[in-house]
Structure 1
Amino acid sequence: MLSDPLTPAVADPSGTGPDREVVRARRRNGLSVPVDPSMPLPRRVLRDWRTWVSLGLVVLFVGAFLANWILFVPEHTMPSGTIQGLGTDVLPGAARLAAFTGVPLTILFILADRVRPQSLWLWLVALVWGGLVATGISAPLNTWAAAHLSVIGNGDPATSMRGAVFIAPFVEEAAKATVLFGIAILMRNRVTTWLSSISLAGLAGTGFAFVENIIYYGRVFRYVSSTTGTGDAQQAMNQLALMRGGMTFFAHPLFTMMTGIGLAVALRARSKRVRVLAPLTGFLVAALLHMVFNFTASSGGQVGLMLWFVALSVVAAMVGLAINQVRRERALVHARVTDFARLGWLHPDDADAFSRARIRSRALWEAFWAGPSTYLATVRIQHSATELAYLRDAIHRGLVDATGEAREAEVLRRIEQLRAVAVVVPQGAVEYPWQRWRRTLRQRREEGLPAWGGLLRGPTPHGPLGSSSTEYSPVDPRWGPPKQ
């Protein structure tokens, strides 16, 4: 039985903003904190924790970029040898080869996050974290762990099979998964679907693979170009790009997606054991797959080919799981929106309009050509309806207490406000601007009017004088020269 979500939120008796108990309850449940509309915008921005987290992340990303540059671009002398740096001249070519798979994978994971899309900010955080922070953490930790475990190599885990199999998987998967756990802790009200977790995990893995491919492509180019009798450097780099970017492009995103699945299970579970064991299991599965992948790459031969086909089967299974999850998430949104529609809080057509991908896409397309304000309102109303559905489902599961009802009331009011401007149900064929212009021109020709409405013509020579021209008042007979 649904309780009435239109109960107003508890306000501060002083009238200065939301009550502190309400704020604490919202944060405890992972819900958005109500904003005081009377507070000036600069003060609201400064008091928003996301502002300071964003600034901290920017500083962290810049520092990680500089650390990666110092680690990989110049040469480094180790006790057991010299690690040749990439240099600046090889970076553009290596980056282009890495982008052939990095860019399509990024677009694919963003498009996969369809039911309740995350913000561009979260997508960028996951992608850049994997590309800069995770690589900056993994390289020194791999070297440190290999040195303490007496693994033979020159400081690069790729030069030692034991380091690549037993050290790198745990270090790299932990570095990539850190951003997922951070987002889940700080913004768990946003990561409410499996698709969101898979998308963010895939972006983190894609960013890591992109930078790692640049490093490997650059190193093989440097090695071949500086070693006699090893062939053409560009050809060697292209062959490695075909192997890593063509045949095994799915590796790092697939590994991190396992951690994302475990995290998604934990966020939707009531059991405390499941909340602890599910992410841990996902991480261990990711590390295990990473170990098998590195062992395959190091061993080669028929065993490697067999394991490669096994990996393709896992990728196909993940694609099927994602497609099935899209259907389940759509059904969940439809069921929960139907609950509100039956009680009269939403329109009867809203269940189909907010849950079916085709209707949502057509509504966005129609709103796009209707103007920026209509398009923005349509995006917001679709996001609000999806948030409302998942919030009601969380209350039904016992993941959110009665505090969620106040948030439901806010979302319902926002939907009603946006409905007057947004496109909820598309009305049919879209009239594009050029079609509207041609229709207007045809009507003016039929009426005998100029095509452009006289906008380019000068003033009519015999027409009345305008307000901006010189006008003469009527002559008064009493006017005349002064009499003597």
Structure 2
Amino acid sequence: MKKRRRPADPVVAARKARRRNNIPAEPNAAEPIPKRILRSPLVWLSVVMLLAYAVCLVLLYRQVVPDQQVPGGLIPGLGTEAIPIAARYAAITAIPLSLLFLWADRFRPQRFWVWLMTFGWGACVATFFSAQINTWAASHLSIVGDGDPATGARAAIYVAPFVEEAAKATVLFWLVILMRYQWVSRVSGIVLAGLSGAAFAFVENILYYGRAYRYAARTFGEVAPLDALQDLFMLRGVMTFFAHPLFTAMTGIGLAVAVRSKSKVVRVVAPLAGYTAAAFLHMCFNASASLLQGRQLLLIYLLVAIPLVIGMVIFLIRQILREGRLIRTRLVDYVRLGWLPEADPAALSRVRTRGRALWQAMFLGSAAFLATVRMQRTATELAYLRDSVVRGIVDTAGAEREKLLLHRMYALQGLAVVQPAARAAYPAFRRRRTIPATPAYAPAGFPGPAGLGGNYPAPPPQSYPVNGLQGQTAIHYSEVDPTWKPPGQ
């Protein structure tokens, strides 16, 4: 006799469906914020990764900064004096470039811990492992090979591109596995890949600048250490600052295409194609820098490198505009069903309108500002969720999340700023009333130089027989004798 299967628990089934589609669970608002933070697995993962970043950074510091004693002699390190100077010059490029990538992620910005994990991976883990593998490969290619000193360029051409691009892109693959739902566009892939590349270039530039400074300091009389560092800064920090972010962006685009596709073939081929393109561009760059010089290198820079950068910038701008159109199109679907106001899709899909709404909400109080931020993020997530359902990436499990997002937008309608007014509600600053100064002399009591139109103070008060008025201080008339008459009458 066959046993009857128990009916599936709807709560358990909904949880499995949500995990299958990588849809995040709604946090319990009744729980205190500290408890929610401690129960979040992403928080503990971030703590573990930060410790790993610190270990890698310390190991890399001990490897390159102090002098290394080897059997054949002494290998000079960077020294503690060169590190702060090199770090300042490396930050001149890294900080603006990172802020530019964060600014580009306008519609669906990632959480702060995602940016921190990505930047930390590129700066600590990727640089540490790349330094170990590149050093090992360079030693084998120069010694096991034909012994020619020129073979040192082989590692830079044939090993470093594949090793460094794999090291920088590993964090992107981890993020896709953990938060596939948040990768909504190619802009997300470019931003995260650019952050990892900028962080890698930041630490790598510190090593290169420090070596140039230390070498110039040890060779007395040839060139000043700071001049040598500045010359290298012009090459790496100004002319080729875009190299690592540009290469890694290829892998980010490939991952973004794979995440937003339903085809299994595309999900496998797109990341591999992106990584191959990143390694190929990196190989071409290192080969040009190692084998070419003078006019040939300048032509490659002007005819190949600069057009690639301009093309990437144009591609990123077009993707940002495309995301705005996608949000407007998907929100219009809810307008047709009567679930959203007709003017909301246009207002919530334009970068300028969203910025004006946030600006005006700042002057309406913290509650209005937070509600506006939540409204914009909720509308963006709703539009991308609708797009995922249309593409077939998310199955029926997205319906529950869709209802929750719509209810959240209804609750925020009265407080959030969606349609910005013509002018923000700037606070009115009251001016203090100015009290006129009291003159030190009494005003004039008669026309003249000190009276109407006069320029001099009035004379001191004295008695004037004007209708019995005793000067300015008199306040009564003199008494009149009723028996008085003219003489002789």
Q: Max radius of gyration: which structure?
A: 2
Kindly indicate whether the alpha-carbon contact (under 8 Å) linking 2:165 and 2:248 is maintained by their aligned counterparts in 1.
Answer: yes
Secondary structure of 2:429 counterpart? helix
Q: Among 204, 223, 233, which residue is 1:212 paired with?
A: 204
1:406, CA displacement in angstroms?
0.5
Looking at structure 2, the residues matched to 72 and 408 of structure 1 have their Cα atoms a distance apart, in angstroms, of 52
Looking at structure 2, the residues matched to 372 and 211 of structure 1 have their Cα atoms a distance apart, in angstroms, of 39
Verify: 1:420 aligned to 2:414, yes or no: yes
Q: Among 353, 362, 365, which residue is 1:368 paired with?
A: 362
Q: Among 271, 291, 296, which residue is 1:303 paired with?
A: 296
Verify: 1:253 aligned to 2:245, yes or no: yes
Q: Which amino acid aligns with 1:407?
A: R
Looking at structure 1, the residues matched to 141 and 109 of structure 2 have their Cα atoms a distance apart, in angstroms, of 43
Secondary structure of 1:345 counterpart? coil
Q: Equivalences for 1:99-178 in 2 at 5 Å?
A: 99-150=91-142, 160-178=152-170
1:44, CA displacement in angstroms?
3.3
Secondary structure of 1:382 counterpart? helix
Q: Which amino acid aligns with 1:375?
A: F
Matched with 1:342 is: 336
Q: Which amino acid aligns with 2:294?
A: G
Matched with 2:271 is: 279
Looking at structure 2, the residues matched to 161 and 372 of structure 1 have their Cα atoms a distance apart, in angstroms, of 58
1:76, CA displacement in angstroms?
2.5
Matched with 1:383 is: 377
Secondary structure of 2:182 counterpart? coil
Structure 1 residues 142, 401: CA separation in 2 closer, same or farther (over 3 Å shift)? same
Looking at structure 1, the residues matched to 73 and 295 of structure 2 have their Cα atoms a distance apart, in angstroms, of 33
TM-score by length of 2: 0.82
Structure 1 residues 295, 91: CA separation in 2 closer, same or farther (over 3 Å shift)? same
Q: Among 196, 200, 205, which residue is 2:188 paired with?
A: 196
Q: Which amino acid aligns with 2:269?
A: L
Looking at structure 1, the residues matched to 237 and 137 of structure 2 have their Cα atoms a distance apart, in angstroms, of 27
Matched with 1:266 is: 258
Kindly indicate whether the alpha-carbon contact (under 8 Å) linking 2:262 and 2:393 is maintained by their aligned counterparts in 1.
Answer: yes
Q: Which amino acid aligns with 2:138?
A: A
Looking at structure 1, the residues matched to 15 and 72 of structure 2 have their Cα atoms a distance apart, in angstroms, of 57
Looking at structure 2, the residues matched to 140 and 388 of structure 1 have their Cα atoms a distance apart, in angstroms, of 45
Structure 1 residues 229, 379: CA separation in 2 closer, same or farther (over 3 Å shift)? same
Kindly indicate whether the alpha-carbon contact (under 8 Å) linking 2:197 and 2:244 is maintained by their aligned counterparts in 1.
Answer: yes
Verify: 1:57 aligned to 2:49, yes or no: yes
Structure 1 residues 87, 406: CA separation in 2 closer, same or farther (over 3 Å shift)? same
Q: Among 66, 69, 83, which residue is 2:58 paired with?
A: 66
Q: Among 71, 83, 93, which residue is 1:91 paired with?
A: 83
1:122, CA displacement in angstroms?
1.3
Cα offsets for 1:264-312 (capped at 9, x unmatched): 1111111111111111111111111111111111122333222212011
Structure 1 residues 41, 365: CA separation in 2 closer, same or farther (over 3 Å shift)? closer
Looking at structure 1, the residues matched to 151 and 127 of structure 2 have their Cα atoms a distance apart, in angstroms, of 17
TM-score by length of 1: 0.83
Q: Which amino acid aligns with 2:421?
A: Q
Q: Which amino acid aligns with 2:338?
A: G
Q: Which amino acid aligns with 2:280?
A: L
Structure 1 residues 261, 233: CA separation in 2 closer, same or farther (over 3 Å shift)? same
Secondary structure of 1:115 counterpart? coil
Structure 1 residues 390, 83: CA separation in 2 closer, same or farther (over 3 Å shift)? farther
**Identity of matched residues, %:** 50
Moved more, 63-72 or 75-84: 75-84
> 5+ unaligned residues in a row in structure 2: which ranges?
1-7, 436-489
Looking at structure 2, the residues matched to 25 and 86 of structure 1 have their Cα atoms a distance apart, in angstroms, of 54
Kindly indicate whether the alpha-carbon contact (under 8 Å) linking 2:335 and 2:342 is maintained by their aligned counterparts in 1.
Answer: yes
Moved more, 253-262 or 63-72: 63-72
Secondary structure of 1:430 counterpart? coil
Looking at structure 2, the residues matched to 406 and 114 of structure 1 have their Cα atoms a distance apart, in angstroms, of 26
Matched with 2:486 is: none
> 5+ unaligned residues in a row in structure 1: which ranges?
1-11, 449-484
Matched with 1:22 is: 14
Aligned CA-pair RMSD: 2.3
1:37, CA displacement in angstroms?
4.1
Kindly indicate whether the alpha-carbon contact (under 8 Å) linking 1:23 and 1:34 is maintained by their aligned counterparts in 2.
Answer: no
1:431, CA displacement in angstroms?
2.9
Q: Equivalences for 1:443-462 in 2 at 5 Å?
A: none
Cα offsets for 1:58-84 (capped at 9, x unmatched): 111211221221122112245676542
Moved more, 212-221 or 303-312: 303-312
Verify: 1:356 aligned to 2:311, yes or no: no
Q: Which amino acid aligns with 2:243?
A: A
Cα offsets for 1:37-64 (capped at 9, x unmatched): 4555554333321122111111112112
Q: Among 317, 324, 345, which residue is 1:323 paired with?
A: 317
Cα offsets for 1:341-384 (capped at 9, x unmatched): 11111111110111011110100111122222221211111011
Secondary structure of 1:231 counterpart? coil
Structure 1 residues 276, 292: CA separation in 2 closer, same or farther (over 3 Å shift)? same
1:324, CA displacement in angstroms?
1.0
Looking at structure 2, the residues matched to 44 and 158 of structure 1 have their Cα atoms a distance apart, in angstroms, of 58
Kindly indicate whether the alpha-carbon contact (under 8 Å) linking 1:259 and 1:286 is maintained by their aligned counterparts in 2.
Answer: yes
Moved more, 338-347 or 72-81: 72-81
Secondary structure of 1:183 counterpart? helix
Q: Among 362, 382, 392, which residue is 2:386 paired with?
A: 392
Kindly indicate whether the alpha-carbon contact (under 8 Å) linking 1:131 and 1:211 is maintained by their aligned counterparts in 2.
Answer: yes
Structure with the larger RCO, 1 or 2 (CA within 8 Å, 6+ apart): 1
Kindly indicate whether the alpha-carbon contact (under 8 Å) linking 2:46 and 2:117 is maintained by their aligned counterparts in 1.
Answer: no
Q: Which amino acid aligns with 2:84?
A: P
Kindly indicate whether the alpha-carbon contact (under 8 Å) linking 2:347 and 2:418 is maintained by their aligned counterparts in 1.
Answer: yes
